[in-house]
Structure 1
């Protein structure tokens, strides 16, 4: 069986109502208290944790201590940076959704906020963080160059097959990319989360999806009908969003495509029932964890699964020469 890297990343952040206003004043980071139990469980499976930490969990004394203990206890975790502009100094008041995406902010503000966040991470671990993910996804060349200038070498801000009013990732799949066109030092590697469809080729499936989103087709709810029939499903490898059955279907397609890495993600707040729309109860949380178990069991039956942190995956794949060039 061929080797396939497996990355499990967690956006580690404050709790807030994703359908409400953005919390310029953080109310709670209680969910961080559930990370040790979560990590114990994935550690028992031989999995590695890559935690993208935002400023809110780093400035709170209690959550910071929990994270420090986790980092010191397990030598195989990675702490990366997760930038929420509404809580990272110099704080940008977010009065509209556009302001929550760093691609819409002046590059000077993004650079200053990244400096603040990076300094907190260095204070916690004693190490320069190397991996980054923007809050609410989205990235551009100017921000990528700032990342390299501040010592980062891995980005995971591209959300494949997704777009909104401010950025588009629809032409990207989950294959890791060398961002050599930027001519940065260090050279950046893009390692997106795993996403796609339950049928290939993904580029044709995406074009079909876009066509069916147009008003003429959306009126007839064709996407929903095809989903129920199991004929066309856009799937993200997150136990919050997708069933184990759908994630396994996605993994099968990605493995058949020959992709050298599988990247699953979730939010730390989903470990505290009632904090997100995805996990309302202990039963939901149990279901989320079972989904992870089932996907990992499937992958181990299909390939020689190599659990690694996100930076390890990026660097190993670079050294093996299997990165695609960003076009």
Structure 2
């Protein structure tokens, strides 16, 4: 596996315990990745700005990622395992030296990071590169951007599914290879990367775990090309199948049909105020929520969509 290691050292004119305390502080120094977390303890989740060795295709010099603290030695060392948009490690050490503290940060970037920065796709394959005759299935998800929190879980599930399928002989006797596409929570990026991979590899199917905006962009391509598209996220649609397009996740109506009467029954309330972002999901929630609430004897006293 190819790997890039980035090393940076900074001198601070404060003792180690003060330098250590800067990590995770709101508005903290950029050389500590502008990290954010609630507690500096193993298992705690953190948001970090990971520096890139060169500008990504979109011009980014850093990428916002998620990480988990795996080791803490107070005033001496912190180790994070970052999970999105790729996996890797960040090690920060604090050493006393004349006049203050030497802070050393080591960022390890793996093959996923190289693909991300060059605009390529990642890959979730249990055993190496996989044979040339493998059935290629794409996982289109968000490994970065505002929806990047669930991307790693989706990629891990895809890898596990491929491993289980291949252990039972694959599909039609051919092993499955999973290609992970990061749409960066951007519809145009998701469509462009999926189209490029499909035209280059000839995908058997694409599994989508992403936003409604990416769904709208990709579904048109899937219909036109005949690509089997399995959209697994909760969604605003009501049709389960439309040609080669399958919506497998719960719909807004499915969720609210269970939640609304249960809430009114348990709380004894009947009045509803509907509020959400001015986006497709909250708009569908407002429409379906009003209908279902009124059907069960409730009434909507106000409604607001915010930007």
Q: Tell me, yes or no, whether TM beats 0.5.
A: no
Q: Which has the higher helix share?
A: 1
Q: Which has the higher strand share?
A: 2
Where relative contact order (Cα < 8 A, 6+ residues apart) is larger, the structure is: 1
Instruction: Return the TM-score normalized by structure 1.
Output: 0.29
Instruction: Return the TM-score normalized by structure 2.
Output: 0.30
